[in-house]
Chains A and B, each alone.
Chain A
Amino acid sequence: MQRAGPPVLECTALRKRFGDLLAVDGVGFTIAGGETYGLLGPNGAGKTTTISMVCGLLERDGGTVTVAGRPMTTRSVEAKAAIGYIPQELAIYPDLTARENLAFFARLYGLPRAAVSTRVAEVLDVIGLADRAGDRASEFSGGMKRRLNIGIGLLHRPRLLVLDEPTAGVDPQSRNSILGSIEELSDSGMAVLYTTHYMEEAERLCDRVGIIDGGQLKAEGTRRELVALVGETDRVRLSAAGELEAGLAACLVLPSVREASRHDDGLDLLVDGAAAALPGLLAALGAAGVTVRSVDVAEPNLEAVFLHLTGRALRD
């Protein structure tokens, strides 16, 4: 994960309005070669809209995008040539074979005819579809379609790979292999922009993460930097029953509790110095009529950061 040279992607103050809705509001970040940048945010946060502006699919209402030193517009052929774009929804031709899908896009991205079959064979190897290359995409499993969807973005060895939630709806095994491929590509020096609402993926893959919510970039940095925002605060996950609403209120008045939210069968808390505060916390909950079944104390993670920054859980 070596980072070197000038940024491959530089975007500033991106803004996009859909009618009354400001879908993206002042988002800016840079990504260097070999660096993986994650946009982490819940549904509707503005991840896809941001990516659409980065890739020149969507006119911007404001801001700048520069890819490999070239300004991006919806008509900028040169800037687009530097990007490998992998859409959130599957975008493959079901009536064509895997090989035909790849060959078509290879030529569309300007690979010389002679180089196409070699490069297609290489990508088929990378995405593990070499033995199914002659089968129509419509016959593939969901995971295989996802891998083909990703392979199409790799054909022209882009400087910047843009993946919009590539693991959505994928079984754990395929997800693992997809994440592994992205790590390898990043190691080979590619800049990667990755959106997800899975905190685990962002933690595993990304050198830096931007937390996006309501169209705004709430914070940005390495995992360590982001966690430091939460401070000496631990994440306490309580599995509990009883008067959860009353318990929630009781927790929030304790000075050591920074944030608290309910989940299906318990409470999520951010607590300063959890070890010392825990006895008092449990007593307060008991008094409020909450029966605690188990307590899980963890170092803060990106989920905790999100909770800290927005007051909401990443996934409701």
Chain B
Amino acid sequence: MRAALLIAGKDLRERLRDRSAILIAVVVPLALAAIFSLTLHDVTSGSITFEYALADEDAGPVATAFREDVLGELERDGLVDLTVASTAAEARTLAERDAVGAAFVLPAGLSAAVASGRPATLSVIGSADAPIAAQVAGSIADGFVAELNAVRLAVATAIASDGGVTDRAALAAAAAATPRPIEIRDVSVERRELDTETFYAAGMAVFFLFFTVQFGITSLLDERRDGTLWRLVAAPIARSSILGGKLLTSFALGLASMVVLVVTTSLTLGAEWGDPAGVALVLLAGVLAATGVMALIATIAKTAEQAGYAQAVAALTLGLLGGAFFPVARVGGAIATLSLLTPHAWFLRGLGELAGGDGPWAVLPAVGAMLAFAAVTGGVALLRLGRMVEP
């Protein structure tokens, strides 16, 4: 153990000297997490707020229904932030200048047209820079129009069946005002999931973890190439402590980078990792799994270069499949099931449980899965590692 610690200490010193380890372990994941969470915030976040403008030139009952019941409802849910424009032109300008994501224009005579069964137009002007907001605005309008058409059909049916109805306008207005707000389902509350900042902080952390740990175990191949391995083998220490030292280096590098990333993303990106004890368990298990997987690949490779390529391919594949870049769990289906074959997916799932506000015990299934990865891959690696110290 003493020799393993000595070797790990020496390795860490070397790794800190050549800056690439720090770059891969901390700088790059932090930068990517920041970029992703800033640019993709609105797309993936469960708490989206779309900014819309509304020009109500109609001021009739249909317009009021749209404004109060449809947009008003969404505004109360915090999904929409509404700016009222006095004219259609003003609303259009707001959208064109990207001050809002889209503008709704309810033209004069809309209510009258609906009431009399004449064609009516509700226009939506989208901002070019906010295609998603514009698309959502389009679906809100579509939903409302579909509702109106249903009502109109009902009114027409009512008129046809009962000629006694005289106040068609009043009936139409009453029907349109029926409180049946358009439902917009919030997809993110379906499962327990990380908010955008935390998702990308965690995703990048676990993705680069697999690159970071390889600096430890792969240095065995470097030492083999550089001949220093024979000095270690000639030294009065057990061969297992050479392997132990390398695994220890991987583990220490991985854990240190994760701790640094958790702290910095919490402070700078506003990531919320959740219960500290639970996070610690997930990190430990994740680092062990990454070390095991990368050690296994290192034992299959013949040279440090070969190992580097193979490990990069594995880290990339597992990372993409495991949902480090895109929340595959949300997609569901085969890919979500397949992702469970990666430690990354379990890592993110464990943190997802914590995001639900649960205590540390909620992570145990995910931690168990990652430890299983670590045990299987690490076990096979240890069996094979022995031949790496033979001349």
Chain A positions near chain B (C-beta within 8 angstroms): 52, 55-59, 74-75, 77-78, 80-81, 83, 85, 87, 89-96, 100, 104-105, 107-110, 136, 152
Contacts and interface: CB of A to CB of B under 8 A. Distances in A.
Nearest to A108: B235
21 contacts: A57-B391, A58-B390, A58-B391, A80-B234, A85-B231, A85-B234, A87-B230, A89-B227, A90-B227, A91-B226, A91-B227, A93-B226, A93-B228, A95-B17, A96-B13, A105-B231, A105-B235, A107-B6, A108-B232, A108-B237, A152-B231
Nearest to A85: B234
A57 B233 CA distance: 6
Most chain A Cβ neighbours within 10 Å, of B7, B230, B391:
B230
Nearest to B229: A91
B112 interface: no
A107 B9 CA distance: 12
A80 B242 CA distance: 15
A75 B237 CA distance: 8
Contacts of B237: 77, 108
Contacts of A87: 227, 230-231
A109 B228 CA distance: 14
A23 B103 CA distance: 85
Contacts of B235: 80, 105, 108-109
A104 B236 contact: no
Contacts of B236: 77-78, 80-81, 109-110
B168 interface: no
- The prevalent SS among residues of B at the interface is helix
Interface in B363-391: 390-391
A91 B14 contact: no
Nearest to A83: B234
A95 B18 contact: yes
B10 interface: yes
B6 A108 contact: yes
A160 to B, nearest CB: 12
Contacts of A152: 231
B357 to A, nearest CB: 46
A75 B390 CA distance: 12
A95 B14 contact: yes
Most chain A Cβ neighbours within 10 Å, of B6, B234, B238:
B234
Most chain A Cβ neighbours within 10 Å, of B3, B226, B231, B239:
B231
A60 B390 CA distance: 12
Most chain B Cβ neighbours within 10 Å, of A58, A91, A107, A136:
A91
Interface string B1-43: 0010011001001100110000000000000000000000000
For the complex of A and B, 5 pairs with smallest distance between CB atoms: A81-B236, A91-B227, A85-B234, A89-B227, A80-B236
Contacts of A83: 234
B19 to A, nearest CB: 11
Interface string B209-239: 0000000000000000011101111111111
B203 to A, nearest CB: 32
A108 to B, nearest CB: 5
B14 A55 contact: no
A105 B228 CA distance: 11
A58 B230 CA distance: 10
A59 B238 CA distance: 15
A56 B231 CA distance: 11
A249 to B, nearest CB: 44
Contacts of B239: 74-75
A93 B227 contact: no
Given A75-B238, A75-B239, A104-B6, A91 B391 contact: no
Contacts of A90: 227
